[in-house]
Structure 1
Amino acid sequence: MNLKYIVLITASLLISSCAGTISTTKKEYKITNSAKFKSDWVFDTNEWVLENNTLTGKGGPMHWGVIESKKKLPQNYEIDLKVNMTKESLFEIMLNIDKDKYIRTYLYQIDQNIVIGKGTYKKGSNEYEKRGGPTLFKKPIKLENNKWYALKIKVLNNQLSFSIDNETTLECSLEKSDLSQEGKLGFITNGEVKINDFKIKAIQ
């Protein structure tokens, strides 16, 4: 087998392995283009709107506003975004959504904590036992409405790091905590939330 053939096979395998992911090591993903946004995500247009590069989500105590990407996250990735909880108490970034299981990384204003937990999300159901899930790790932080926070999430070699404003950080092992190791991305709000400067990049 000659070298050119080996290189061609390797390249095609790399392309096919990255094709189903929302970002690659060569190209990061951003939410800026309205038409592309609609084709890349599953959501209710009454709950999520993209205007002027700011994504606004609306939900309620009984019906959480949920949005989910159509493509998987890369195996190793970094997510950066700025978030403002303008109403109510919960904003959640759903990581590695696999069927109805996912990793909960969220801000919870009532308890004044950032949290990593094990999540369950039954599509189309508003029953409490069919959404959310147990807390695994938490750390106190002062959280307010109408204030912007810079969030960073990093998953590398099954290690998860979740930080706010480069000051408060939670870390855990996905394998040791029995958390999803692959899947899609999503957001949840029980009130109103604004998101901007959002980007995902695959890392090695």
Structure 2
Amino acid sequence: MIKQISITFIFLLILSSCSSTISTSKKEYILQHSKELKSDWTINSKEWVLKNDTLTGNGSLSPWGVLVSKKELPKNYEIDFKVNMTNASLFEIMLNLDKGKYIRTYLYQIDQNIVIGDGMYNKKDDSYGKRGGKTLFRKPMELQNNKWYAVKIKVLNNQLFFSVDNKTSLECSLEKSNLNQKGKLGFITNGEVKITGLTIKTF
């Protein structure tokens, strides 16, 4: 019996490590250590560092600071974290990045909105029109530098739910809005931003 349990555990461990998604149905993914940043994400060490459980990104108007996962998000998932735009006007969560297209979910200080949009990303080109994209949905929210915000993103049955501090939220259908239904996770900033408590759960 013990031998059978051990074999099952090893099989699940192998299955988890070989999974093509950043999270599996057997566990939740929590970014806590620098070795996970190196193994699970495509990074530029000048743009993103992980220290004391805090992920810090640095970008500019050109180039943006970009961080992209090496594995895809699950089909149904929930992402939770806290973010502080210490010196940035734009912080963007790239969802379902695939073949240069992704879902834009972001906090935008200039317009004082949270936004869902249809984005494009060309990792070799920082020029205008090669990154970012059109706005589909927006909602006003007061956004400040040096303030922590709790972000929750949920995709379930192709329905996207995006909320900040559990009080301002947007929702849309991926299918009806012609948005990607699979792909990787990424982050974009045009200044300094700090992220802590990044957790990805699978449904």
TM value normalised by structure 2: 0.91
**Count of residues in correspondence between the two structures:** 191
Structure 2 residue 167 is matched with structure 1 residue 178: no
List runs of 5+ in structure 2 lacking aligned partners. 1-10
**Partner residue of 1:106?**
106
Structure 1: how far apart are the matches of 2:73 and 2:141? 27
Offset of 1:36 from its aligned partner? 2.0
C-alpha RMSD of matched pairs (Å): 1.6
User: C-alpha deviations, 1:159-201, integer Å up to 9, x for none?
Assistant: 0000000000100000000000000000000001000011001
Offset of 1:26 from its aligned partner? 1.8
**Partner residue of 2:190?**
190
List runs of 5+ in structure 1 lacking aligned partners. 1-10
Structure 2: how far apart are the matches of 1:155 and 1:86? 28
Offset of 1:25 from its aligned partner? 2.0
Identity %: 68
Mapping for residues 160-179 of structure 1, pairs under 5 Å: 160-179=160-179
Structure 2 residue 49 is matched with structure 1 residue 52: no
User: C-alpha deviations, 1:38-94, integer Å up to 9, x for none?
Assistant: 110001000000000000000001210000000000000000000000112000000
Structure 2: how far apart are the matches of 1:62 and 1:185? 21
**Partner residue of 2:41?**
41
Structure 2: how far apart are the matches of 1:91 and 1:26? 30
Runs of 4+ in 1 over 6 A off after TM superposition: none
Structure 2: how far apart are the matches of 1:132 and 1:44? 19
Structure 1: how far apart are the matches of 2:36 and 2:86? 26
Amino acid at match of 2:28: E
Offset of 1:120 from its aligned partner? 0.3
Structure 1: how far apart are the matches of 2:79 and 2:24? 12
**Partner residue of 2:151?**
151
Amino acid at match of 2:115: V
Amino acid at match of 1:79: I
SS at match of 1:37: helix
